[in-house]
Structure 1
Amino acid sequence: MTRWSVAFGAIASREVLRFVHQRERFLAALVRPLVWLLVFAAGFRAALGLAITPPYQTYIPYETYILPGLCGMILLFNGMQSSLSLVYDRETGSMRLLLTAPLPRGFLLFAKLCGATFIGILQVYAFLGIAAAFGVDAPAWGYLAVLPALVLAGLMLGALGLALSSFIKQLENFAGVMNFVIFPMFFLSSALYPLWKMAESSRLLHDICLANPFTHAVELIRFALYLQWNGWALLWTGLATVAFMALALWGYDPARGLVRRKG
């Protein structure tokens, strides 16, 4: 157990130290959602009316509605950024050294995933603090209740990043893949508008949004932030986490995945 705990701490702390030395990454993680919250929301507030819908008990400003979606945005971008570091590590050879350690490959990847998730949660709480300072807040206990939802959502999106990194051969190709994954996942979700609004314009788009695992991660955060339970969102976010992690393990399997092809 000592060997396992030391390895877990070393891998996770490496992710944290890498983040600490990249201050611009922290600022970029906050600028994106703050622009949406303070600039875009001001324009959408008049155009998009919101009816009373769970978990809200009354009519709410548009800024309040998109707050959980922007938390999900932070976790999504952080998961992709973490996977970018994996592609870089593989090109420099440090990833190969990590995966040859005398520990299960799944444990090594999970340790890296936990470090990335911890960083994403720190960014989310920093954003929530700034949003509260601008008057966009949630119930006081909601900031604590949302923590498990943030952990699961962060693990799901980080596992997605792990899976993608196992199939990206070159660092130069990563930006295109990120755009191909991030923007459809974010815009085809309930992060910016309720699904019933999407259904009014297109039933097909509504169904796509409903099948999007990012939608369920956002709804899990939304309900937890307002001290309510959403079992359906929890189920689908958990299943997506398992599926993405299994895909990542398959991709990093030296007998079948990218590690063997690169070798």
Structure 2
Amino acid sequence: MIWWLAFRAILHREALRFLGQRGRLVAALVRPLVWLLVFAAGFRAALGLSIIPPYQTYITYEIYITPGLCGMICLFNGMQSSLSLVYDREMGSMRLLLTAPLPRWWLLLAKVTAGAMISLLQCAAFLAIAAGVGIHMPWQGYIVAIPAILLAGLMLGALGLMLSSFIRQLENFAGVMNFVIFPMFFLSSALYPLWKMKEASPLLAQICAVNPFTHAVELIRFALYLQPNLAAAGWVLLALMVFGAAALWGYDPARGMQARKGS
């Protein structure tokens, strides 16, 4: 019972923080909408798209990048949620959380889950706006995509959690965020299919193929079209476990005490 109470308390705290930051939802939507409404218009003529799974016919560039922009929302929100952890650690509230009589993995899981649920809400708002400007998916796909978006949000939240566990100052984390976010986003299938990247550089195509964000995007893309992508789901789960294990080790209070003694 106490496990569930702690889980619910963390979810409630993150929800209140999200609702209190009214500009956060607007900022989360502005980035993908700029890509969708501005950049896509310029790239539409330059990037011809052939029929590739999960699509059954030729598609416009706006339709192709929509799942990738959902991934962008999850990526930025995962990093932003972890940014709050660095702030909480500086203020001392993170220490109180980790000393609670509950397993650290459960507390961190609650934190990451809260971030993934916020990512889901932001993606839902973005897809609603996209539908309003004529970018439609199968209506069943919006339902099937819910677990895919949540899984992608968990994985990217765990990545942010891992980074925040090794960064001690708020200013440093902001720089690392940019160093991680932009390579992950641009070296993926979010904006262009991998076969297009392979034509330009086989090496970059291989980097894109092992990028966990690529598999998160493809998981969402296939789910929106009611098709399973077990390979992408497997890679996302593997990345989630690796990032989660690294974050769990990084937030070990005993390790933090040793670091302070050595400094």
Settle same-fold status: TM greater than 0.5: yes
Q: Secondary structure at the match of 2:254?
A: coil
Aligned to 2:228: 229
Query: 1:28-47, aligned counterparts within 5 Å?
Result: 28-47=27-46
Identity across the alignment (%) = 72
Aligned to 2:94: 95
Aligned to 1:192: 191
Aligned to 1:158: 157
Aligned mates of 1:234, 1:168 — CA distance in 2:
29
**What is the CA-CA distance between 1:157 and the residue it aligns to?**
0.2
Aligned mates of 1:260, 1:68 — CA distance in 2:
43
Aligned mates of 1:115, 1:88 — CA distance in 2:
17
**What is the CA-CA distance between 1:83 and the residue it aligns to?**
0.5
Aligned mates of 2:258, 2:106 — CA distance in 1:
19
Aligned mates of 1:262, 1:17 — CA distance in 2:
33
The one-letter amino acid of 2:96's match is L
After superposing on structure 2, the runs of 4+ consecutive aligned residues of structure 1 that deviate more than 6 Å are: none
Aligned mates of 1:31, 1:23 — CA distance in 2:
13
In structure 1, stretches of 5+ residues that fail to align are none
Aligned mates of 1:148, 1:259 — CA distance in 2:
38
* TM-score, normalisation: structure 1: 0.98
Aligned mates of 2:125, 2:257 — CA distance in 1:
36
Aligned mates of 1:217, 1:134 — CA distance in 2:
25
Aligned to 1:70: 69
Aligned to 2:10: 11
**Residues 87 and 168, structure 1, Cα contact 8 Å, conserved in 2:** yes
The one-letter amino acid of 1:7's match is A
**Residues 114 and 155, structure 1, Cα contact 8 Å, conserved in 2:** yes
**Residues 142 and 227, structure 1, Cα contact 8 Å, conserved in 2:** yes
**Residues 98 and 253, structure 2, Cα contact 8 Å, conserved in 1:** no
Aligned to 1:113: 112
**What is the CA-CA distance between 1:255 and the residue it aligns to?**
2.8
**Residues 253 and 260, structure 1, Cα contact 8 Å, conserved in 2:** no
**Residues 30 and 123, structure 1, Cα contact 8 Å, conserved in 2:** yes
Question: Is 1:22 matched with 2:25?
Answer: no
Question: Is 1:209 matched with 2:208?
Answer: yes
* TM-score, normalisation: structure 2: 0.98
Aligned mates of 1:201, 1:108 — CA distance in 2:
44
**What is the CA-CA distance between 1:259 and the residue it aligns to?**
6.2
Aligned to 1:251: 250
Aligned mates of 1:71, 1:237 — CA distance in 2:
15
Aligned mates of 1:151, 1:87 — CA distance in 2:
23
Query: 1:138-157, aligned counterparts within 5 Å?
Result: 138-157=137-156
Q: Secondary structure at the match of 1:229?
A: coil
The one-letter amino acid of 1:183's match is F
**Residues 251 and 259, structure 1, Cα contact 8 Å, conserved in 2:** no
In structure 2, stretches of 5+ residues that fail to align are none
CA RMSD of aligned residues (A): 1.0
Q: Deviations over 1:204-241 (max 9, x none)?
A: 00000001000000000000000001111011011000
Q: Deviations over 1:128-185 (max 9, x none)?
A: 0000000012100000000110111000000001000001110011111000000000
**Residues 117 and 158, structure 1, Cα contact 8 Å, conserved in 2:** yes
